[in-house]
Every structure is written in C-alpha cells, then in structure tokens.
Chains A and B, each alone.
Chain A
Amino acid sequence: MSRIVLPAILSADAGGAKSVDVDGRTVGALVDDLVARHPALGDRLRDADGGLHRFVNVYLNGEDVRYLAGLDTRVDADDEVRLLPAIAGG
C-alpha cells in the first residue's frame, strides 16, 4: 500500500480523511484507486479525458511528478503521494 495525502480542500470529498491508503504501481494507478474508493473526488481530480486537471499538482515523496514521469511514475510501497491544488486565500 502507498499513501495519498489530501489537503483539506480535497479531503472533504474523501469522508474527511487527510490521507488514504491505496494500491497501485504507478501514480496514475494510485489516483484510480483513490477515486474508486471515493468517487466524489473524480470530478475534482480528472478532466473530461480522464487525465488529471492541470491545476492539481502531484508530488511523489516531495518531488513534482511533472518532472518525473507524470502519471506513469513508478511507485513503491511506502511511498507518499501528495495532491495539491492551488489556494488563493490571504
């Protein structure tokens, strides 16, 4: 199992969970499993083509997956994925 960490703005659609343990060998597979467990997150994370919305940043162990292999980035057990949309409040 790997762990996906959710900020408050997303955790509301995951039953309030700040992190969710999920299965998968790639970042994309983890997100698929997350959405399968919490379908309300689907629209918040995915665009019409099934890819991730451009405004949702994804970090694997603190590194932006845009500079790794995107959703195809391989994930090991115990890795931590963090989803992070921008917030504007000040």
Chain B
Amino acid sequence: MTSASDFFRQVRSSIREVSPKETDERRSAGAVLLDVREQVEWDAGFIPGAVHIPRGYLEQQIESLVPNRASEVILYCASGVRSAYGAATMSQLGYENVASMAGGINAWRALGLPVAQPAHLTPEQQQRYSRHLLIPEVGPAGQARLLESKVLLVGAGGLGSPAALYLAAAGVGTLGIVDFDLVDVSNLQRQVLHTTDRVGEPKVESAKRTIEALNPDVKVIATEAILGPDNVAGLIDGYDVIIDGTDTFDTRYLLNDAAVERGIPVVHASVYRFEGQLTTFVPYDGPCYRCLYPTPPPPELAPPCSLVGVLGVVPGIMGLLQANEALKLLLGIGETLKGRLLLFDALDGTFSELRLERDPACPACSDTAREARVGREALPLPIEVSR
C-alpha cells in the first residue's frame, strides 16, 4: 500500500513545477493560468487573468476551457498540492505543456505579486444579469466590466433609441447622451426611448427618464447640445465607445475626426427608407469614416429621413446591431465589423457585406496624418458640407 505522502511524491516527480516568478513571466507571454481552488478561495482573490475550474471539475470542464492540448497551462492552488495533482491529470488527458506553480498563491502573495479581487455583483445584480452571467464569454467578470464601461450615444433618435435601451438593459454603467432636439410626435414611429406624453420635452431628458426607469444601475450623463467643433472634444473624452446615431454629414465627419484623434472606436450606422449601413471604426487599426467616404454627396443625393421617410424598424435593427458591436468592443469578445460594411435591405430581407480598407492617404487616420496632427488645428470639413 502506498502512503498519501509517497503518492504525492510520485505525482510531483512526474510533473513540471515552475516558480511564481517564472509563472508571472509565462503569464505575460500568453500561458493560460488555471486556478483549481474552491469557489470560496477564488472569491478571496486570484491571480489577474487566471481562469477558474475547481479541482473536482477539472476533468469535466478543461476541454471546453482549453480546447487546444498544445496550449501552455500553468495550474495553481493555495500551496501547490492540488495543482500538482491537477497537472498530472491534465498530462494523462493529453495536454502537452502543463506545469504546476510551486508554493501556490501563498508563495505568490509572499513575493508581493498582484492579486485580483473577483467582480462584486450585488444579489440584485446577480438576478438582473443572470442571463449574462450564464454565458461564459460574459460571466461575472464581463458583467462587472460592462458596469464600469462608458458609452456615448450621439443622437437619441432612431438609431440611438434602441441602442440606448439595450445597452442600459445590459448594464453598461455610464451612458452619455448628446442631442439638441425636442421630442416631436413624428419621432415616435421609431424613436422608442420617447413617449407621447413627453412631446415637446428635450430628448436627452426623456431618454434619461426611460433609461433610469429601466435600469437604476446606469448613470446617464445627458447633454442638451449640438455637437460642434468647439465642444466635440469635451463631449467625447473619457468614453470607451461612441455610437454614431447622428443624421448629418457634418456631425459624422466631426465625430469621426475627434474620435480618431482620441483613439475611441465609433460604431457607425446610417439609414435610408428600407436600407441601412453599419460598420465599426477602430482608430488606426481599421478604416475610419473618411476612408470609407472621403467626401459626402451633395444634399440632393442625400436627403434626410425627414424628407424621404424611413421604415421605423430599419433604424431599430441597425441601432441594435450598433449596441451589439459596442458590447463586443467592451467585452473584448467576437469579431467586430472593423473593416467590413454591413448593408441591410429590409424589403429583400438580406444582409450584404463589403470589405473596407484603410486609405493610406486618409486626412484623418493615415500614418502621415497621425504624425502631422501634433499641434495642429482640427481638419476642415469636406468642402461639400462646409459651404
């Protein structure tokens, strides 16, 4: 019969152990750090970036968490015993590059290396966001990230309404809303943030009331203003993502240039009757609005919705797709529409996709423009809109 301590010695000699310092280096190099302690231990603090599977569930859950058996995985527990057993198990399962961190998180803490606290959600939040918490790609950490995120909606109209409602429902902690307009009865066919009894009220005030009634977790920063060259920088500063729900070329170029300069992604959509266009502009990583449309059409080729009409659901659908893009950007999951223009045709019920390129001569986001920007005035608007 083998004693427990002999058995552990055998297991330990069959696996690779790494020091906390080496673990820290491997973590930065992309190794998966796997915490195999119990939930209560995890809740008391874990190594930043680690994933968590309690030792008892390791065999059942490791394949879905780390599908590639060639991935480098370093396991840790409190002192290095359970992680050694876990590493041996993973080797038996065919994982080729597995190690156990010697001394566990106790040794890690003793060296003064960083420890993260798990996302704290109140019991009310755990209920409210329970459908998010069940999705591994969101989970408590993702939900906490949303609650700390800031999204700016420029325009509380046809696009901004559905985007704001769903971002608020999703628990995006701060929603900035900029609009200069008053609620008009003709808005209510599509601008679902507003209600009949609020006709004549500022849209931003109406939006704030609707959002706060939907989700008290959300802080609404309402600004009744026209976005202009003098205020754009102050209005967009500090936001993680901007939803472009404006309806003129002037504001679209203005917003683009200011967002590119500050490195803030803009989720763009525009609509015309039964059709919509959508893409995500990630400064310097993908094309910007000026790369896509270097100059705007003349007014007769780009009449506003107030003159040509729009089927109410079209901005509804496009606005929700904008919210979807924003959530992916905030959570760092999935593939955004960066470099792709999505076209929606409501009559045909079709989506088409076009490939977009960064324009190497773009006056806003080319490398040359980026270097030249230091100390320079804002770009002029393209000639057609500034006349």
Contact = CB atoms under 8 A, between A and B. Distances in A.
Interface of A: 7-9, 18, 44, 53-57, 59, 62-64, 66-67, 82, 84-90
A63 B274 CA distance: 23
A62 B304 contact: no
B274 A64 contact: no
Given A54-B294, A85-B301, A64 B356 contact: yes
A9 B272 contact: yes
A44 B297 CA distance: 9
Contacts of B294: 54-55
Contacts of A87: 270-272, 275, 277, 302
B354 A53 contact: no
Interface of B: 155, 157-160, 244-249, 252, 269-275, 277, 292-298, 301-302, 304-305, 308, 310, 315, 343, 348, 352-357, 359, 384
A55 B297 contact: yes
Contact of B270 (A44, A59, A89): A89
Contacts of B359: 66
Given A55-B297, A64-B354, A86 B274 contact: no
Contacts of A63: 354-355
Contacts of B249: 86, 88
Contacts of A56: 297
A90 B247 contact: yes
Contact of A62 (B160, B272, B292, B354): B354
Contact of A54 (B295, B308, B353): B295
15 contacts: A7-B275, A9-B301, A18-B348, A55-B295, A55-B296, A55-B298, A64-B355, A64-B357, A84-B277, A84-B343, A87-B302, A88-B249, A88-B270, A89-B158, A90-B160
Contacts, number: 95
Contact of A85 (B247, B302, B354): B302
Contacts of A64: 354-357
A77 to B, nearest CB: 20
Given A44-B301, A55-B295, A55-B301, A89 B271 contact: yes
A82 B301 contact: no
Contacts of B298: 55
Given A9-B302, A88-B302, A89-B158, 4 more contacts: A18-B348, A85-B297, A90-B244, A90-B246
A90 B302 contact: no
Nearest to B308: A89
Contacts of A85: 297, 301-302
Can you list the 5 inter-chain pairs with the closest CB atoms, starting with the nearest? A90-B247, A86-B293, A55-B297, A89-B305, A87-B272
A82 B301 CA distance: 17
B275 A62 contact: no
A89 B304 contact: yes
A62 B339 CA distance: 12
Nearest to B246: A90
A4 B353 CA distance: 15
Contacts of B343: 7, 84
Given A86-B249, A89-B310, A90-B315, A59 B354 contact: yes
B301 A62 contact: no
B272 A90 contact: no
Nearest to B277: A87
B202 to A, nearest CB: 18
A88 B301 CA distance: 10
A19 B245 CA distance: 29
Contact of B293 (A8, A57, A59, A67): A57
Contacts of A62: 352-355
A53 B294 CA distance: 11
